[in-house]
Structure 1
């Protein structure tokens, strides 16, 4: 099964040599799940021909806001709607979660409560899961067709399910602790309040639900069902 990865952001230069780009992180997250992968750097204007270029789709995170005026955002929203109309399955993570919601009628904005950085725990149907997060923007109003399937007090729409075709998550199951600590050092300073950064650093080593999220995302891409 071929997964098309739509890359919407670039890893900071100081971290790319060690960690690679975002598509590679997802390939590692979903390793041994029977997938092949092809990536398109939509943030750099590279797009597939359409939904049929892959069997299912995944949209990565980004430092950009879904509501920002970039040349690549309108065609990405058009592609999202085309994939949705085709019935092919799609997963969105962080910015991917947000841009899918925006493309399908929801609202994304900077959250008045500020940033979520580092390990955060979310209430899923089968219990709590701790995942690394890195975001200030949130889906403030979800699309009418979307159903909330994970939440916490900081992020009401932490994961959304659109029937059996789209599943999106605000947090970053593909971020390990080393990459998160790198973001704290290289992207967070002067952007995220120092107290939040140090609080996130103190949580490094908290057990993460990486395996559970990998299995759930893989199962959804294959069957349209959440485990």
Structure 2
């Protein structure tokens, strides 16, 4: 008998830059592509069929501020965002409250990516904010803890990054997954509840290139920063391995 599909609600915390948005169809489209590729890479069609095994829904939590009914999903995924996870905009406060509710739910699991990772940290009561060490951009190395190596199935992670904000410390009862020279909290894990990463497993070279060029034009990145990031944007990374780890976690 086939397994029931995995019902994942994708909470869109932002809209990608113009070209990427048109190409992929929002962050919902970017994650949809990643998750289907990862279901294929998982290669367990009897457990999770690459086509019919995923039931993905999308919720605009910024403008429409819509949320799933937790009784009707198995997991929620909080995407990245250009917005600041530490600000008190009504939609961000609403997202933090919803995240607290999802963490308290005995059944629903959570995936947090970049801004989403920070929102989970904030929901658990730790400080999130600007990193004095500055930006991490494009493909970077992350050192993994023992648990991180076990979960992601690799010795160390290469992951696309695009952040200047961080979670400053690990909340209670959270297992650290990894760190980098610029950011101590690169991933958080609580068994049966959530996995988070500060990086972007869903980002592709074209998405990173577009963001870097726009931010360089806007003066957010200087010429040297932008050139360095563009030189690393196309490097191999572990986005698929991370996505496969997410799916295994959701199937547990």
1:113 and 2:133 aligned: yes
- 1:163 correspondence with 2:163: no
Partners of 1:142 and 1:45 in 2: CA distance:
31
TM-aligned CA deviation for residue 150 of structure 1: 1.4
Aligned length: 223
Task: Provide the residue aligned with 2:13 in structure 1.
Answer: 8
Matched, 1:52 2:106: no
Q: Which runs of 5+ in 1 are unaligned?
A: none
- Corresponding residue SS for 1:134: strand
Deviation of 1:114 after TM superposition, in Å, equals: 0.4
Bigger Cα Rg: 2
TM-score by length of 2: 0.84
TM-score, structure 1 length as denominator? 0.93
Query: 1:82 — aligned with what?
Result: 101
User: How far apart in 2 are the matches of 1:161 and 1:83?
Assistant: 15
Aligned to 1:20: 25
1:30 pairs, out of 22, 25, 35, with 35
Partner SS state of residue 81, structure 2: coil
Whether contact under 8 Å (1:115, 1:192) holds in the other structure is: no
CA distance in 1 between counterparts of 2:158 and 2:68 reads: 36
Instruction: Pick closer, same or farther for the CA change 1:222–1:187 going to 2, 3 Å.
Output: farther
Residue deviations 1:140-195 (CA, integer Å, cap 9, x gap)? 12211222111111111001112321110000000011111111112343112332
Query: How far did residue 203 of structure 1 move?
Result: 1.4
Show the counterpart of 1:194: 223
Residue equivalent to 1:40: 59
3-state DSSP of counterpart to 2:233: coil
Q: How has the CA–CA distance of structure 1 residues 82 and 43 changed in structure 2, closer, same or farther, with 3 Å as cutoff? A: same
Q: Which residue of 1 aligns with 2:117?
A: 97
CA–CA distance in 2 between the matches of 1:150 and 1:164?
19
In structure 2, how many angstroms separate the alpha carbons of the residues matched to 1:95 and 1:31? 22
- The Cα shift of 1:11 comes to 1.2
